[in-house]
Amino acid sequence: MQQVDYIVVGAGLAGINFCEQLRAHNKSFVVFDDGSQKSSVVAGGLYNPVVLKRFTGVWKAKEQLGIALPIYATLEKLLNVKLDYKIPVYRKFASTEEQNNWFIAADKPLLKPYLSDEIIKNTNPSIEAPFGFGKVLETGRIDTKTLIAKYKVFLQESKRLLEERIDYDALVVEPNVVKYNNIEAKYIVFSEGFGIQCNPFFKNMPLVPAKGELLIIHAPELKLDVVLKSAAFLIPLENDHYIVGATYEWQDLTNNVSAKGKNELLSKLERLITCPFEVVNQVAGVRPTVKDRRPLVGHHKDYKNMFLLNGLGTRGVMIGPYAAKQLYNYIEHNMPLDKEVDIARF
């Protein structure tokens, strides 16, 4: 019989961040992951403290970044890879009115640290931007695809990963122990993303799945070294490749790419850049979003040793470390959860 402190179900952004809390506090754990969830793998990975549609601050942005960035730095050392690419985000202005709204926002105390108060003129011949750009500070991109792939290797090498689907019917939950086959744990944490729909313990949670698609393009003439936000995001990768994202789809909840998603992204891209490009890949995944845009954190109403960490939505790289820390402190130190993330709100 293998005895551990925790069973963690799911090795996406939520699961990895919870495992990092466990590792930091010398807790023993095993992770179940069947590779069925793709939202973290296909995420753009941006961390950005400003909602660029309306020029408002992201909820608890300073606190989230304060927790997240040191954790990604720790993960870079642990996995011996680069994950955190510091890169400014430029918001393309569509009018002088948008420029004025930007200046008003940049004057607000909460946004001042994150919004540059100068308008950046466009000097790139491959981009249409007569009104220029606003520059967001304290931004970057976490390479989520590399993070998840390398973290799974780390889990395998440390004998903590079971690459299989957990059989919910085989779980035996008693007041002080969770048993599963030959494993006994004090606690079980479900961080399955959209996979929650199959979880009989939490399937009634108000998760609103939203499929997202991204394109990877090759555009040798573009020469862009910032993230560009207009109707779509344009994120530079290495060797003149760029991510173009992202779509929102609430009907088709498969991980399959679609012609509809591709066409939507291409039409937005063609309004943004004028140089030739080639689409080299298209990916899709279903994001676990919540109607109030806050994660789902807390324990099962009947089982006090069964927990949920889910609903990271579209800002998973920022909110994941914060939500994982909330849950860890709640379980181990009986610290109350932030009311806005506690599943008791539903």
306 touches 188 (CB < 8 A): yes
Give the pairing type, strands 133-136 and 89-92: antiparallel
Helix axes 61-79, 13-24, angle to 10 degrees: 80
Average pLDDT, the chain: 95
* pLDDT tops 80 at residue 40: no
Polymer length of the chain? 346
Give the pairing type, strands 2-9 and 29-32: parallel
**Residue extents of the structural domains in the chain:** 2-43+145-206+292-345, 88-137, 207-290
According to the model, what pLDDT value does residue 41 have?
61
Burial degree of 34 (CB within 10 A; 0-12, 13-18, 19+): middle
User: How confident is the model over 126-153, as pLDDT tens digits?
Assistant: 999 999 999 999 999 999 999 999 999 9
**Cα 313–Cα 336–Cα 297 angle in degrees, nearest 5:** 25
- Structure-model confidence comparison of residues 137 and 37, the more confident one: 137
The CATH number of domain 2-43+145-206+292-345 is 3.50.50.60:
yes
Question: Is residue 79 very low, low, confident or very high in pLDDT (cuts 50, 70, 90)?
Answer: very high
Question: Is residue 269 very low, low, confident or very high in pLDDT (cuts 50, 70, 90)?
Answer: very high
* Amino acid in the structure at residue 238: E
| Residues 207-290, CATH architecture | 2-Layer Sandwich (3.30)
According to the model, what pLDDT value does residue 42 have?
67
Q: What percent of the chain has pLDDT over 70?
A: 99
Q: What percent of the chain has pLDDT over 90?
A: 88
- Phi/psi at 274 (5° precision): -115, -10
User: How confident is the model over 273-296, as pLDDT tens digits?
Assistant: 999 999 999 999 888 999 899 999
Question: Is residue 102 very low, low, confident or very high in pLDDT (cuts 50, 70, 90)?
Answer: very high
* pLDDT tops 80 at residue 39: no
